Amino acid sequence: MRATDIKMNAAKACFILAVAASVCPTTSFGQALDSAQARTTDLFARDRSVAVLERPHPEYEAIGATVGTFSLFPRLQLDNENSDNVFAVETGPVSDWAFHARPSATLNSNWSRHQLNAYVRGDFIRNEKYHTENANNWSIGGTGRVDVLREFNLALGADYIKAIEPRTASNTAVSARDPIKYDQAQAYLSTSRIVGRTKLTVRADVQSYNYKDGFDLNGNVIDQDARDRINSSLQGRADYAVSPATAVFVAVTGNKRNYDTGTVATPTRDSNGYELLTGVNFELGAVVRGEVAVGYLSQSFDNAAYGDIHGFGSRTRLEWFPTELTTITATASRGIEDAGVVGAGGYLSTNLGLSIDHELLRNVILSASAKRVDDDYNGIDRNDDRTEFALGGNYLVNRNLGVTLRYYRTKQSSDGTSSGPNYTANRVTLSLTTQF
């Protein structure tokens, strides 16, 4: 089967699922019985255990302020951070202290039906020595849900972000004097419908990226226009509950990536792609829950200079609860990402992660995580191998005050004739959070 035929079939499958979610009949006796069972038991709920980081702590939670039928939650986090490799370089690393002020506010509706949430966040960074790394990052957005029927709802959300790329980002310009700035706007719309033992979900996403030109140490422009793009995707998913604790599913996703322009070294990266996944969503008592999905993914570029990317795809998340006070989470994914380096169309990214969260005391939570990332670029000879490690603890003083101490370590090894930077960076952050 040709790639174009597969893409057309993926789009048709999404359309069929969307129609089915709206008009699927429930006239047979078997379907009526399944619907009655679903009303008494949520066949798709996986909530017999509560993860450590999701467990409510009413005595340490902010009360908020009532604004009509909404609740307002203001928050301020102050970070003091030390990095031993500010510019993420292999030779001649330098250290610096950075102060972060992170104000935020969340507004949540208190309605019996439907839901509306809004937020605004900031991350204002000031460095002691290297003022080129100062930044004023902020974002604003919201989410909503319309409960059409008991088992049929519409969800939507939108965000707008102004930020800088961290020096450790694999796609950022290494020679830039200042961090690359960018604007990002994104929105989604999804709908889900439960009919007996079947759950149908359709979701559409769109993201817009606009990168600002940078400058090297000599004042020469580092053109970023070739990175500006609009990504859109449409996913259809069907779950079937074989038992109250297990469901099998198939998910079909099609995407389109449109770039504003290209250069001589980096022709326009326009492409179309799809992802076909099938898997299982389950819960084994109160001990293990998760979702495992495997399948095939492909991305075809309009410019033949890049070549197509295709291969094995996966999305997996498993949670193990050895005790009520400990959560161990394993994740794995493989997908196709957009490249920001000269000459590359994209890259195949493989991610493996493991994290442990433990509630030492009611108000003391310890966390550790490790992650391995392998990025294989197309269009150029480059492969990045990155490991990330984090260790930290969170102390809740009372409902208005919290203290967090964290350590991060990132190490990247890049190979190939167009290899990226090799570096090791360590960061220690002490945070004080106030909330009301």
Which residues fall within 8 angstroms of residue 66, CB to CB, at 6 or more apart? 72
Q: How far apart are CA 13 and CA 325, in angstroms?
A: 42
Q: Between residues 282 and 18, which one has the greater pLDDT? A: 282
pLDDT at 370 over 50: yes
pLDDT at 385 over 60: yes
DSSP label at residue 229: E
Q: Are the C-beta atoms of 281 and 291 separated by less than 8 Å?
A: yes
pLDDT at 433 over 60: yes
- Looking at residue 345, its pLDDT comes to 92
pLDDT in tens, 89-131: 999 999 999 999 999 999 999 999 999 999 999 999 999 999 9
Separation of first and last alpha carbons in the chain: 58
Which residues fall within 8 angstroms of residue 244, CB to CB, at 6 or more apart? 41, 43
pLDDT in tens, 208-253: 999 999 999 999 999 999 999 999 999 999 999 999 999 999 999 9
pLDDT band at 265 (very low <50, low <70, confident <90, very high): confident
Domain covering 3-435 in this structure, CATH number: 2.40.160
- Looking at residue 41, its pLDDT comes to 65
Q: How far apart are CA 156 and CA 116, in angstroms?
A: 10
Q: Mean pLDDT throughout 366-375? A: 98
- Looking at residue 151, its pLDDT comes to 83
pLDDT at 19 over 80: no
* 3 state SS for 97-111: EEEEEEEEEEEEECC
Domain ranges of the chain: 3-435
| Cα 414 from chain centre | 24
pLDDT at 13 over 50: no
Which residues fall within 8 angstroms of residue 320, CB to CB, at 6 or more apart? 287, 288, 327, 328, 329, 330
pLDDT at 38 over 70: no
CA angle 211, 216, 347 (to 5 degrees): 50
Q: Mean pLDDT throughout 326-352? A: 96
pLDDT in tens, 277-299: 999 999 999 999 999 999 999 99
pLDDT in tens, 299-330: 999 999 898 999 999 999 999 999 999 999 99
Percent of all residues in the chain with a pLDDT value above 90, rounded to a whole number: 86
pLDDT at 7 over 60: no
pLDDT in tens, 175-192: 999 999 999 999 999 999
